[in-house]
Structure 1
Amino acid sequence: MGRCTIQLVTGPAGSGKSTYSHILQEHVQTLGPRNRRRIHVVNLDPAAEHFRYDVAFDIRELISVDDVMEELQLGPNGSLVYCMEYLLENMDWLQDHLDSYDDDEYLIIDCPGQIELYTHIPVMNKIIDQMRMWGYGESMVSVFVVDATFVTDPAKFISGSLLALSAMIAMQLPHVNVLSKCDLVEEASMDRVLEMESAIQLWDMLGDHSSDSSSLQPYNHLVPATNNSTTTAATNNDNKAQISAQQRARKWSRLTESICSLLDDYSMVGFVPLNINDEDSITHVLATVDHATQYGEDLEVRGADYDDDVGEES
């Protein structure tokens, strides 16, 4: 039995991972027989409550955050980490499910939204390594979903880009970054950011540099000429506080510029916009992900599908 193609859909909580999974599942069902694929969506988030897609199998059959919180008296974050570590100790459950699919089938795995699982805690990395040992290494792709509303804030967009780069390096898989919720963002504003040639250029054009070192001016002239020592001391303290705040802002600006330089040096972070109301946008995202895994190159055309297509054309 061959190995099915797997999308691991990751990203921050609330970024639209479940909606992305549902839209792709729904979209594939509308394709013609030659392009249609058997697609299944898996829930790997033990904290999930509701989703619109048809669930192939669900980690909550094995363990759930609610049960852990009730039995072990842990908080939501600690319970989620416990659940994923429990999965790591019971990987035969996941292997049995994955091995039930053929190489011409397609799985989308909706992963948890706690970003620490991908950037700080090695649990997801260990799960992926185990899946590689089962033979899925060449058929897996990581899809990192980021909320497109971040585009309107340069600092958040740069932060999201750095987060995407961190996840890509940690997971060590073919990687595609998707900007979700593009239907909620002004298209011109989003295009302006996506067309930037570098993160430094984005920061220079849209960032707030009002606190740069060039704006720092001595405050001695603000101290009034008076013999009142109390007033003078209070004014000096106020001036020192303003200077300290501007110095911190200057350091923050330099840190941001360093992060932008890191993103530019790697030149590995790009985003594919997804508008769930635009069929062409959905098709483009799916084609980009397919290209990352070279999906379909080794698949044979099934006779039944071909006969259906011929029947439709005649």
Structure 2
Amino acid sequence: MSESSKGNPLSFGQVVIGPPGSGKTTYCHGMQHFMGSIGRSVAVVNLDPANEAMPYSCAVDISELITLSDVMENLKLGPNGGLIYCMEYLEANCDWLQEKLAAFRGHYYLFDCPGQVELYTHHDALKNVFAQLAKWNFRLAAVHLVDSHYCTDPGKFISVLCTSLSTMLHVELPHVNVLSKMDLIEQYGKLAFNLDYYTEVLDLSYLVDHLASDPFFRNYRRLNEKLVEVIEDYSLVSFVPLNVQDKDSMRQVMQAVDKANGCSFGDQEQRSLEALMSAAVGADFHFTSTLAVQEKYVQSQDKTVEEEVMDM
């Protein structure tokens, strides 16, 4: 055991990462309420210096240390350069973070991180912060959120797979990839394949064949084939679908993360979760009563096919 971890109790948590607009802050808000409803004490840590409107109850806020607006104004940097500077400043002042986190010992931690992709694919500042947390006896899993609308465009989905793989290899944490906003996926258009094809990342050669029907991508078939080979050779990327308004979907994501970071699932918490899943919806956090996302999508597609047959 390292010197920095001696005397520190074991703490569990999630680092919530992903591109801008993928729903990281909404996820933290929803997971805070969901875990609280089953008796888990949750501390949300905002590590995004550009996050000014937080819907959740924030335990630790990086804006007390540094803000993106101040950096941009004083150092004349743009948003991307400013965010990188903020993360490097946080890395240099990890003692501030350690002191703040010490006030919430015994809690489960949700780290709401910035949305700049390069912070998770090749820049080292946040990676080093996560490594420092591990030295303080934090057992963390990375929850990488990706907007589900990318599934409707094969080219973008291949790009997302490459980004997810790069993030997994760079961050070096147990990793759970999540397709967010699944309740809105039908608004983005019809999928070329069933949902399980995208969540399980099945044989991607079919995706390349589908891309070949587009005159633009036909010229890049060899490139797409090689990208797909890299993804399949590593065989690491898969996704858990998430509808933050559905309690069963939240449970599945939470249990996947608990398995990844090693968080034990106690008897009392298990009983609370079972009661929550069978009880009426509470007033604090609204969950819709829906079918599983896969079943719902398949049923809607079957109905569309039946209507087309009737019209013939």
- Equivalence map 1:188-203=2 (5 Å): 189=191, 191=195, 193-194=197-198, 197-203=202-208
Conserved? CA contact 2:48–2:112, under 8 Å: yes
1:124 corresponds in structure 2 to: 126
Q: Within the alignment, does 1:23 sit opposite 2:30 as a pair?
A: yes
Q: Output the CA distance in 2 between the equivalents of 1:3 and 1:280.
A: 28
Q: Output the CA distance in 2 between the equivalents of 1:150 and 1:185.
A: 9
| CA shift in 2, pair 1:185/1:300, >3 Å | closer
Conserved? CA contact 2:208–2:221, under 8 Å: no
Q: Output the CA distance in 1 between the equivalents of 2:82 and 2:60.
A: 21
Q: Within the alignment, does 1:100 sit opposite 2:100 as a pair?
A: no
Q: Which amino acid aligns with 2:179?
A: L
- Deviation string for 1:183-226 (max 9, x for gaps)? 1112973616426522223332x323454xxxxxxxxxxxxxxx
Alignment partner of 1:286 out of 220, 242, 254: 254
- Deviation string for 1:45-87 (max 9, x for gaps)? 0011212111111000000001111111111111111111111
Conserved? CA contact 1:151–1:157, under 8 Å: yes
Q: Which amino acid aligns with 2:170?
A: A
Q: Output the CA distance in 2 between the equivalents of 1:50 and 1:254.
A: 45
Gaps of 5+ in 2: 1-7, 273-312
2:173 corresponds in structure 1 to: 173
Q: Within the alignment, does 1:164 sit opposite 2:137 as a pair?
A: no
Q: Which amino acid aligns with 2:205?
A: I
Q: Within the alignment, does 1:271 sit opposite 2:275 as a pair?
A: no
Q: Which amino acid aligns with 1:285?
A: V
- Equivalence map 1:256-267=2 (5 Å): 256-267=224-235
Q: Output the CA distance in 2 between the equivalents of 1:160 and 1:10.
A: 14
Alignment partner of 1:62 out of 61, 65, 68: 65
Q: TM-score, normalised by structure 2?
A: 0.77
- Deviation string for 1:279-312 (max 9, x for gaps)? 1111111111111112125x6969xx9xxxxxxx
Q: Within the alignment, does 1:207 sit opposite 2:211 as a pair?
A: yes
Deviation at 1:135, TM superposition (A): 2.4
Deviation at 1:131, TM superposition (A): 1.8
Deviation at 1:98, TM superposition (A): 2.3
1:236 corresponds in structure 2 to: none
How large is the RMSD of aligned CA atoms in angstroms? Answer: 2.4
Q: Which amino acid aligns with 1:92?
A: D
Q: Which amino acid aligns with 1:278?
A: D
Q: Output the CA distance in 2 between the equivalents of 1:26 and 1:68.
A: 33
1:184 corresponds in structure 2 to: 184
2:152 corresponds in structure 1 to: 152
Secondary structure at the residue paired with 1:132?
Answer: helix
2:88 corresponds in structure 1 to: 85
Deviation at 1:255, TM superposition (A): 1.0
Q: Which amino acid aligns with 1:183?
A: D
Conserved? CA contact 1:200–1:264, under 8 Å: no
Q: Which amino acid aligns with 2:128?
A: K
1:4 corresponds in structure 2 to: 11
Deviation at 1:155, TM superposition (A): 0.9
Q: Within the alignment, does 1:49 sit opposite 2:17 as a pair?
A: no
Deviation at 1:107, TM superposition (A): 0.5
Conserved? CA contact 1:3–1:99, under 8 Å: no
Q: Which amino acid aligns with 2:135?
A: M
Secondary structure at the residue paired with 1:186?
Answer: helix
Secondary structure at the residue paired with 1:56?
Answer: strand
- Equivalence map 1:197-236=2 (5 Å): 197-204=202-209, 206-211=210-215
The total of aligned residue pairs comes to 260
Secondary structure at the residue paired with 1:156?
Answer: helix
Q: Percent identity?
A: 43
Q: Within the alignment, does 1:253 sit opposite 2:221 as a pair?
A: yes
Deviation at 1:108, TM superposition (A): 0.4
